[in-house]
Amino acid sequence: MAAETPCSVLYNDIRSFGGLKHLEIARMLINGNSYLGSTLLEKCSSNRSYLTRYIVHREPDQCAPAIYSDFAVTTLNLSAAICSKLGGESAYQAIAEHYRGPAANEMMSALASYKLDSRLYANALNHIDNFDGNAVREKSTLYLMLFVATGALADPIQGVATVERFCDSKTGGHFGTTETTVGRGFMSSLEQPRTVAPNLGLLRTHADNCADMQIHPLTRDPRGTVIGSLPKTSPSITDVGADASREHLRIWLEGGHWYAQGLGSTNGTVLESGAGDGDIVIEPPRDQREPGKVYPPVEIENSDRLHLGLYTTFLVIVD
């Protein structure tokens, strides 16, 4: 049996959990006012096999953003329809628990099977957990919106962007990072000039001195690699802890040297020198930064450690 696509996870879950038929879901998702959307819906209505093959089980590389209605509006309509089917005062709580739990796990499994960034989706869930809005109804909407937009587009980056836009424009909440305190001493840096730059990668390590098996390579592309929980660019590294910001740190190669620079993170970044030169502040936590001060790039080398907030440490290694 073929693996579930993100789109089929979306349709099948809402059918089983929310009690809506595939065609009902399609009519909510697809913009019937556009020529392409109305044509697709007409075909779906007259030919159920077309609906199943070309809409429900649409492959990630076949997803067309132009066919969809606004996902914020669609989510609110779906939420109302699901609540009507579930009934009772606890409907929003049930939606929140389902789309934070089993439905989210199914979506992340589908993303991973297509080599899409399931960790980005998991990070977004954590941000919703810490969202400023406390009402269950608000959070249930955000969990469902992330699920719907990611599934329809087969793109966790666009799914996260949809939720961020909604938070910024509709709820007044802040889709940000919880502050923690960095307890390391902040010292000056001594740059060691180097003429040859090897390929570098990052290996995540943990407090018990264990390290993950996966090495995250750093691109030599001038754009560099962004590290964070919800980066909007590629290439990126999303293997981070709960207090890492959406776009926390950028690392790039320039003139034969590797550099790291903070991106305005909430909890800051410290470099622990592998050469024994002490700790170097790449960017202090937000509450310790001097107003208007620009924190310049800091050179990184093999065997250095990068501490992003309290819960994320990377060992810099030759890849």
CA distance 193 to 99: 51
CA distances from 78 to 44, 124, 210, 260 (A): 19, 20, 44, 43
CA distance 110 to 169: 30
Q: What is the mean pLDDT of residues 3-18?
A: 94
DSSP 155-168: -HHHHHHHHHHHII
CA distance 264 to 247: 8
Of 93-107, 135-149, 159-173, minimum mean pLDDT range? 159-173
pLDDT at 151: 95
pLDDT at 84: 85
Cβ distance 56 to 103 under 8 Å?
Answer: no
DSSP 207-249: TTS-EEEEEEEPP-STT-EEESSS-SSSSEE----TTS-TT-E
pLDDT tens per residue across span 30-44: 988 877 778 888 888
pLDDT tens per residue across span 122-131: 999 988 888 7
Residue 163, phi then psi, degrees to nearest 5: -65, -40
pLDDT tens per residue across span 65-75: 888 988 988 99
* Angle, CA 196 vertex, CA 250 and CA 308 arms, to 5°: 25
Residue with more model confidence, 275 or 29: 29
Of 47-56, 95-104, 189-198, 260-269, minimum mean pLDDT range? 189-198
Read off the tokens for 36.
């392409």
Residue with more model confidence, 78 or 137: 78
CA distances from 167 to 75, 121, 245, 311 (A): 13, 16, 16, 26
Does residue 91 register a pLDDT over 60?
yes
pLDDT tens per residue across span 177-222: 656 654 444 334 334 444 568 899 998 888 766 667 788 999 999 9
pTM assigned to the model:
0.70
31-38 contacts at long range (C-beta below 8 A, 24 or more positions apart): 31/67, 31/68, 31/69, 34/66, 34/67, 36/64, 36/66, 36/67, 37/67, 37/68, 37/69
pLDDT at 172: 54
Q: Cα-atom radius of gyration of the chain, to the nearest Å?
A: 22
The average confidence (pLDDT) of the chain is 86
pLDDT at 194: 46
Burial class (CB in 10 A: 0-12, 13-18, 19+), 294: exposed
Q: What is the mean pLDDT of residues 239-256?
A: 93
- Share in percent of the chain as helix, strand, coil (round to 5): 40, 20, 40
The H or E element that residue 144 is part of is helix 136-153
pLDDT tens per residue across span 259-279: 999 999 999 999 998 887 789
Q: What is the mean pLDDT of residues 14-21?
A: 94
